[in-house]
Amino acid sequence: MFDLHCHMLPGIDDGSVDLEMSLEMARLSVADGVHTLACTPHIYPGLYENTAAGIRAGVDALQAELDSRDIPLRLLVGADVHLEPGLTESIRNGRVPTIGGTRYLLLEPPHHVAPPRFEESVFELMAGGYIPVITHPERLSWIEDHYAIFKRLVDRGVWMQLTAASVAGKFGRRPLYWSERMLDEGCVHILATDAHHPRRRPPILSEGRDAAARRVGEAEAHHMVVTRPQGIVEDIAPEALPPLPWISAPPKSSGGFWKRLIGAQ
Ligand SMILES: [Fe+2]
């Protein structure tokens, strides 16, 4: 599997605090069946002033430590990018990294407030040739009143990443509800761990994959942790990757409508 959202680099944000913890997380990832992992520290102006160059140096150093210990995990550069003015330009000039240098980037919306002009900002990135992958929509408090925004974004080609632990019910009732609803409505492109810690926020992807499979079937769950993330890493155009299915059966009330329609013919 591919885990394209993980705070595994030591001492660079609120994820792993030191090399020992990073190694512990890496071993957990491998044991869970992950072979490729994007290190995606926060880039959050005023709080986590990370840059592509600094993240690249961190990835090279951690990869060397993994290799010297024969831990079979391939690391990629990435970032969990907060929306900021001029983001498209910052990506273009190389200050903000995409996932592994591809057209896809992780975009982290604020947790508690719907940002003004959110859709416009996302579309601006797309107009620049990038494909934003919105991180953990199911955990945002403002999804409750703004779900239509996420549906519109999906319709326009924006990608959605659910947290594996949310799908497995580890973040509680509301994130589970939104995870299941988005899965049922075919609004989920990939799962990732967004791990921050080996025990409190562990890099376990398989539980989310299994929970998703019970909801949407094995094939689609496989797309969420293998086919589509591999497509991201290989920078394949979204049109060439498995399309989102509409998983759920039509709502019950429409059954009567169709029956009436068919009966009227
Ligand atoms: Fe994150």
Q: For tokens 């002009």, name the residue.
A: 117
Nearest to 187 by CA among 230, 217, 157: 157
91 C-alpha to center of ligand 1: Å?
Answer: 18
How remote is the CA of residue 208 from the centroid of ligand 1, in Å? 16
Residue 224 has pLDDT above 50, yes or no: yes
pLDDT of residue 251: 45
CA 76 to ligand 1 center in whole angstroms = 15
Mean pLDDT within 46-74: 97
Per residue in 172-221, pLDDT tens? 999 999 999 999 999 999 999 999 999 999 999 999 999 999 999 999 99
pLDDT bin (cut points 50, 70, 90) of residue 116 is confident
Distance in angstroms (rounded) separating the CA atoms of residues 237 and 252 = 36
Q: 11-39: per-residue pLDDT in tens?
A: 999 999 999 999 999 999 999 999 999 99
CA–centroid distance, residue 143 to ligand 1 (Å)? 17
User: Taking all residues of the chain, what is their mean pLDDT, rounded to a whole number?
Assistant: 93
Tokens of 243: 């399309």
**Mean pLDDT on 111-120:** 91
Do the strands 159-163 and 131-135 form a parallel or antiparallel pair, or are they unpaired? Answer: parallel
Percent of the chain past pLDDT 70, that is, above it, reads 92
Answer yes or no: are the C-beta atoms of 84 and 38 closer than 8 Å.
no
How many angstroms does the Cα of residue 82 sit away from the middle of ligand 1? 10
Question: Is pLDDT above 60 for 222?
Answer: yes
Looking at the DSSP assignment, which residues form a beta bridge with residue 106?
Answer: 80, 133
Sorting pLDDT into bands at 50, 70 and 90, what band is 263? Answer: very low
Please determine, for residue 259, whether its predicted confidence score (pLDDT) is greater than 90.
no
How many A from CA of 215 to the centre of ligand 1? 24
For the cut 50, the answer to whether the pLDDT of residue 265 exceeds it is no
For residue 80, how far is its CA from the centre of ligand 1 (angstroms)? Answer: 5
Residues bordering ligand 1, an ion, CB closer than 5 Å: 80, 194
| Dist. CA 22 → ligand 1 center (Å) | 15
Q: What's the CA-to-centroid distance between 127 and ligand 1, angstroms?
A: 24
Residue 48: pLDDT over 80: yes
Per the structure block, which two tokens stand in for 4?
A: 């394209």
CATH class for the domain made up of 40-50+77-193+203-264: alpha beta
pLDDT digits (tens, 9 = 90+) for 61-102: 999 999 999 999 999 999 999 998 899 999 999 999 999 999
d(CA 28, ligand 1 centre) in Å: 18
CA of 14 to the centre of ligand 1 (A): 9
Q: Return d(Cα 72, Cα 74) in angstroms, integer.
A: 7
What pLDDT score was predicted for residue 142? 96
pTM, two decimal places:
0.92
- In the prediction, which pLDDT does 45 show? 87
For the residues 121-131, what does the mean pLDDT come to?
96
Ligand 1 centroid, distance to 259 Cα (angstroms): 46
Query: From the CA of 254, how far away is ligand 1's center (Å)?
Result: 39
pLDDT at 249: 42
Question: 3-state SS of the chain?
Answer: CEEEEECCCCCCCCCCCCHHHHHHHHHHHHHHCCCEEEECCEEECCCECCCHHHHHHHHHHHHHHHHHCCCCCEEEECCEEECCCCHHHHHHCCCCCCHHHCCEEEEECCCCCCCCCHHHHHHHHHHCCCEEEEECHHHCCCHHHHHHHHHHHHHCCCEEEEEHHHHCCCCCHHHHHHHHHHHHCCCCCEEECCECCCCCCCCCCHHHHHHHHHHHCHHHHHHHHHHHHHHHHCCCCHHHCCCCCCCCCCCHHHHHHHHHHHHHC
Contact between 64 and 22 (Cβ < 8 Å): no
Ligand 1 center–CA 42 separation, angstroms:
7
| pLDDT higher at 46 or 13 | 13
Rounded Cα distance, 123 and 263, in Å: 44
Closest CA to 22 of 73, 81, 78: 73
Quote the ligand 1 centre to 265 CA distance (angstroms).
53
**In this structure, are residues 99 and 55 in contact, taking their beta carbons and an 8 Å threshold?**
no
